[in-house]
Copies of this chain bind each other. A is one copy, B any other.
Amino acid sequence: MSEDKKITMAHGGGGELTNKLIKDIIVSRLSNNYLKSLTDSAVLGKIDGRICFTTDSYVVRPLEFPGGDIGQLAVCGTVNDLAVMGAKPIALSLALIIEEGFSIDRLARIIDSIAAAAKLADVKIATGDTKVVENTKGEGLFINTAGVGAIDESINIAPSAISDTDVIIVTGNIADHGLAVMCSREGLSLQTQLKSDVAPLNGLIKDMLDTGAKIRFMRDATRAGVAGVLADINEYTSLGIVIEESRIPITVAARHAAELLGLDPMIVANEGKCIVVVNKNDAQKVVDACRRHPLGANAAIIGTVTSAINNIELHTKIGGRRLIYRPYGEQLPRIC
């Protein structure tokens, strides 16, 4: 199949053309023993530990942005949703909904990116599906990945484990993904180009868990950003949170971009950062482990869980206080 061609409705018909597309363009790039069988389901074999299962669809625009693309995002986002549960990611599914007229070259490039991200995250694309829909105003490709992982017996990470005086850590500079996508979409050119932080966090998280620290809860700060995760913690536990603005790691470039776009960096999506809630006695140990990992170099303690209040307070750099809320509706459509 020549790769400078376009996707047609016939590629989604389930016939010979679908077969060729799947074999020549997709499976050839992701090759592994699970996929080779081309059966209705992948047989992953026996798995020890508690099975963990998650899904996400990716509808980001543009499909390619500084620092990454929808394919890399679709692998990392789902790997991270497993990793923050304390699970080792084992296998992903890959479901493509492609608009007719989409370039097969471009599709091949995105599949290459998926293959590279899966290799980096040490996870297999075990099963998949391809559908074609009529051309619309959209950019032409939606990706869904689901993920299966296994949680070791010794791990107990859950919002119910969070308690008063626990410490809140962020594993690095915030807001890069959302701002990079927004700048790219708005054609905003900055002196220092922002890049998405999209990355698989399972390696970093393993290093944190391996310290033996009493990690209570982790969540990657994607849609709705750090503020969204803090709001989740507040909602699950009914405990308050105090955040020190001066401790939040963020680059000057990201701060400027957020100001230009009129966005609060706390609600902007990250795709390679997670919030960690940990017993205060273990907090420094976790930060140190992060900083030894390339993806956690700017990790920092940013706040504390407290029963003294019941909302989320930000202590600002200039000595003021304001409340942090989950954003209400749409501030950043189709950011992931």
Contacts and interface: CB of A to CB of B under 8 A. Distances in A.
Interface in A1-43: 8-19, 37-43
Given A54-B41, A54-B127, A133 B85 contact: no
A5 to B, nearest CB: 13
A53 B44 contact: yes
B328 A17 contact: yes
Given A47-B47, A54-B41, A131-B57, A333 B228 contact: no
Interface stretch (A140-148, A164-172, A242-250, A283-291): A140-148
Given A53-B91, A138-B133, A144-B144, A224 B14 contact: yes
A136 interface: yes
Residue of A19, A37, A146 contacting most chain B CB atoms (<10 Å): A146
Contacts of A50: 43-46
A327 B144 contact: no
A221 to B, nearest CB: 10
Contact of A42 (B40, B41, B54): B54
Nearest to A220: B40
A126 interface: yes
Residue of A8, A148, A159, A331 contacting most chain B CB atoms (<10 Å): A148
Interface in A57-102: 57-59, 80-82, 84-85, 87, 91, 93-97
A41 B82 contact: yes
A84 B267 CA distance: 44
SS class of chain A's interface: helix, strand, loop or mixed? mixed
A265 B137 CA distance: 34
A141 to B, nearest CB: 11
A223 B15 CA distance: 8
Interface of A: 8-19, 37-47, 49-59, 80-82, 84-85, 87, 91, 93-97, 126-129, 131-134, 136-138, 142, 144, 146-149, 151, 158-159, 219-220, 222-224, 228, 232, 267, 269, 325-334
20 contacts: A8-B330, A13-B327, A13-B332, A15-B223, A15-B267, A15-B328, A16-B329, A17-B329, A17-B330, A40-B84, A41-B149, A43-B151, A53-B93, A53-B126, A53-B127, A53-B146, A56-B129, A57-B129, A97-B97, A144-B144
Given A17-B329, A41-B84, 11 more contacts: A13-B331, A13-B332, A16-B325, A17-B328, A42-B52, A44-B53, A47-B51, A53-B148, A55-B129, A136-B136, A136-B137
The 3 closest A-B pairs by CB, nearest first: A14-B223, A10-B329, A146-B146
